[in-house]
Amino acid sequence: MLVSGALLASACGSGGPAADSAAAGATAAGYPRTLSDCGQHLKITAPPRRAVSLNQGTTEILLSLGLEDRMVGTATWTDPVMKGLEKANADVPRLADDMPSFETVLDAEPDFVAASFASTLGTGGVATRERFAELGVPAYLSPSDCAGKDNSGDGDGSRGEPLTMDTVYAEIRDLARAFDVEQRGEELVADLKARIDKATAGIDASGVTLMYWFANSTSPYLAGCCGAPGVMTRAVGARNVMDDTHEEWPQVGWETVADRDPDVLVVGDLTRKSQTAETAAKKIEFLETDPVTRNMTAVRKKRYVLLSGQAMNPTVRTVEGVEKLAAALRSYGLAK
């Protein structure tokens, strides 16, 4: 508690980042700015100069906006950084591969915090948004994890409304506005839209069934109807065999997986080590040797689509998921 108190005093003191940001806000053109964020109004007094991103999704948006020189920490990684961002990412300290402690984040003296998931920026996570606000640090939560979504239960939440890429684009625009780089945000959104249009031009995968396996070989996490995999599925016109559940990533038994028998299996290729069968290679090895799964249609015909974990989450890399899924369905002769 003495250590924690010292950190809080440092963050709140007259020379801390929040105080510096407030002082800058007195003269920064166009500030203060307010973002409507997951039911809260987030006031930003000046362009952030010491941002910490608590999830890989928000990290890759900030890096894509060219903001690495204004970042002092990242955390919670499932994959290598997105291609093209390696050099930018190398200049930003990694506070933790997984979820960092509150004290570790405060040590970086942030003047802005961003996260992709309510589980990270909430009770049981690094800290609540309210806790950061008490220290004068604006804490932004991705709208992809709150708009049309209920995170009150166990697991990864449930969606009452299907996610769309418009929500991801809104996050990009929010962060661009917070940092006073709106034009960069519009350029990034335009590029992502163009990539989806190109990948899905003329595609028709109606009648094709898919299943998305994120992680865990004991009780697999499969995608429900309405998260990022839903965006991909709708983009190609296919059907997710688990679309009867609104849970984000329900855990089911392997007998259920075999009974649903999809035409194609989309498997997460993760580099973290917190679950069993994280890599695509381990997943495929399991599928092809387990007596319950080895006779599934997708397994017998080796119809796999390998995606990064970030592509299976609501991020800029969901576009990468659309591209790879569309290309794979065409290569398997399952889409026009």
Instruction: Return the percent helix, strand and coil in the chain, to nearest 5.
Output: 40, 15, 45
Which pLDDT score is estimated for 260? 97
Its pTM stands at: 0.90
pLDDT tens for the 336 residues of the chain, in order:
333 343 343 344 334 444 444 444 344 789 999 999 999 999 999 999 999 999 999 999 999 999 999 999 999 998 999 999 999 999 999 999 999 999 999 999 999 999 999 999 999 999 999 999 999 999 999 999 999 999 988 789 999 999 999 999 999 999 999 999 999 999 999 999 999 999 999 999 999 999 999 999 999 999 999 999 999 999 999 999 999 999 999 999 999 999 999 999 999 999 888 778 889 999 999 999 999 999 999 999 999 999 999 999 999 999 999 999 999 999 999 998
For 38, residues 6+ apart whose C-beta sits below 8 A from its C-beta are 118, 141, 143, 145, 146, 147
**Two domains, one topology: 9-193 and 204-331:** yes
Sign of CA dihedral 322, 191, 88, 112: negative
Give the closest residue to 268 by CA, choosing from 226, 334, 320. 320
The domain locations on the chain are 9-193, 204-331
Give the closest residue to 68 by CA, choosing from 54, 87, 81. 87
Instruction: Confirm if 269 and 324 have CB atoms less than 8 A apart.
Output: no
Alpha-carbon gap, residue 120 to 144, rounded angstroms: 14
Which pLDDT score is estimated for 86? 98
Alpha-carbon gap, residue 336 to 334, rounded angstroms: 7
Which pLDDT score is estimated for 277? 83
Instruction: Report how far apart the first and last C-alpha atoms of the chain are (Å, whole number).
Output: 62
For domain 9-193, the question of CATH label 3.30.428.10 is answered with no
H/E stretch holding 174: helix 165-178
Measured in whole angstroms, how far is the alpha carbon of residue 51 from the centre of its chain? 17
Alpha-carbon gap, residue 115 to 91, rounded angstroms: 19
For domain 204-331, the question of CATH label 3.40.50.1980 is answered with yes
Alpha-carbon gap, residue 110 to 74, rounded angstroms: 11
DSSP-derived pairing of the beta strands 33-37 and 40-44: antiparallel
